[in-house]
Amino acid sequence: MIVLGIESSCDETGVALVETSQARVPALLAHALHSQIEMHQAYGGVVPELASRDHIRRVLPLARQVLAEAGHALADVDVVAYTRGPGLAGALLVGAGVACALGAALGKPVLGVHHLEGHLLSPFLSADPPEFPFIALLVSGGHTQLMQVDRVGSYQLLGETIDDAAGEAFDKSAKLLGLGYPGGPALSRMAQQGDPAAFKLPRPLLHSGDLDFSFAGLKTAVLTQTHKLGAELEARKADLAASTEAAIVDVLVKKSLMALERSGLQRIVVAGGVGANRRLREQLDAACAKRGVRVHYPELALCTDNGAMIALAAAMRLQAGVQEATPTYAFDVKPRWPLQEIVA
């Protein structure tokens, strides 16, 4: 079975083809991505209307590209999958509309996928795929959650952020440091030249005893520091970036270890854009190695939004029998959509 996946929830248009087989994990045949980062950069953040219009321009050329790369014709596609939510409504509607139009034209079923399930399952496309059950640390621009994943469709929320997401903390702090958008990678690059112990920044909820996160206070602390530094900020930017990154990573690592301990599981999957962060990977790897815990990441190119994870999630849901693809082409999108709603 060949699944075409379309991702258009935010500022990346992604299209991919995966094929299910006798093997346990579906294989990625081809994937293509267009990032809108350059277009939004002039505005310091994502402009939803521009995002939607650009998805319209990109999605079909990208679909043609992956089909050509995989050596398949459109008629070979068995199922068309798209991101149904969460995300920007207008952006989601582009992918959903194109997917359903393709499905209707081809007479093939369609399937709406939860964006976070895509992130969560994306490490299955890596050279070293995980096995169920595992703890998942989902750290994206909009979400920070710890989950227990027992199988496809079984996602138990253990803890989440009560305010900003980890990615948001990176992005907002980067903005305060004048590092532009998207802030995470920029702040992380700058942090490499700084001292992570230079500034004492808060680690909110570090000792709360539960698995929840809070990052809004950290952003305020960074703002206060920038004011205190005044003209000195320029010279101390790398130190402040490194200290901010260290504060975010410390909390993510500590809570991940707590989740592992409490569940008794020996395996953790890290997914979502912040999973690309080098310090997070180093610290988590070191802490887990000490405890004999296996850590799995998606391939670096599949950490941030992409079509491969959407095609994969659809294929895995179909394979596991937790959802059916339907030949009905009336669609809706869900800009706000808790992952718990799709638990099977």
**What residue ranges bind ligand KG4 (CB under 6 A)?**
10, 140-142, 167, 170-171, 182-185, 188, 272-274, 276-277, 304-305
Distance CA 52, CA 74 (A): 24
Taking CB under 5 A as the rule, does residue 140 contact Zn ion? yes
Between 19 and 164, name the residue whose CB sits nearer to ligand KG4: 164
Structure token pair of residue 217: 């206070």
Rg (CA), the chain: 20
Residues listed for the chain = 344
248 binds, among ligand KG4, Zn ion, none (CB under 5 to 8 A by kind): none
Report the site for Zn ion in 295-334 (rule: CB under 5 A).
305
Between 97 and 182, name the residue whose CB sits nearer to ligand KG4: 182
Taking CB under 5 A as the rule, does residue 11 contact Zn ion? no
183 binds, among Zn ion, ligand KG4, none (CB under 5 to 8 A by kind): ligand KG4
Q: For 142-165, give one letter per residue: b (16+ CB within 10 A) or e.
A: bbbbbbbbeebbebeebbbbebbb
Determine the size of the site formed for Zn ion (CB under 5 A). Answer: 2
Task: Kindly report the three-state secondary structure assignment for every residue of 290-316.
Answer: HHCCEEECCCHHHCCCCCHHHHHHHHH
Between 103 and 272, name the residue whose CB sits nearer to ligand KG4: 272
Please tell me whether the peptide bond between 204 and the residue prior to it is cis, using omega within 30 degrees of 0: no
91 binds, among ligand KG4, Zn ion, none (CB under 5 to 8 A by kind): none
Helices (H), the chain: 37-41, 48-70, 89-106, 115-121, 166-176, 183-191, 216-229, 233-263, 278-291, 308-320
8 A C-beta contact, residue 83 and residue 118: yes
323 binds, among Zn ion, ligand KG4, none (CB under 5 to 8 A by kind): none
Between 274 and 288, name the residue whose CB sits nearer to Zn ion: 274
Taking CB under 5 A as the rule, does residue 144 contact Zn ion? no
Q: Which of 264, 263, 268, 265 is nearest to 281 (CA)?
A: 268
Between 199 and 213, name the residue whose CB sits nearer to Zn ion: 213
145 binds, among ligand KG4, Zn ion, none (CB under 5 to 8 A by kind): none
Between 20 and 122, name the residue whose CB sits nearer to ligand KG4: 122
Q: Name the residue type at position 317.
A: R
Residue 119 CB, shortest distance to Zn ion, in Å, is: 5
Between 304 and 323, name the residue whose CB sits nearer to ligand KG4: 304
Residue 333 CB, shortest distance to ligand KG4, in Å, is: 15
Q: Which stretch binds Zn ion (CB under 5 A): 30-38, 138-146, 163-171, 317-325?
A: 138-146
State phi, psi for 321 to the nearest 5 degrees: 75, 20
Chain residues in the site for Zn ion (CB under 5 A): 140, 305
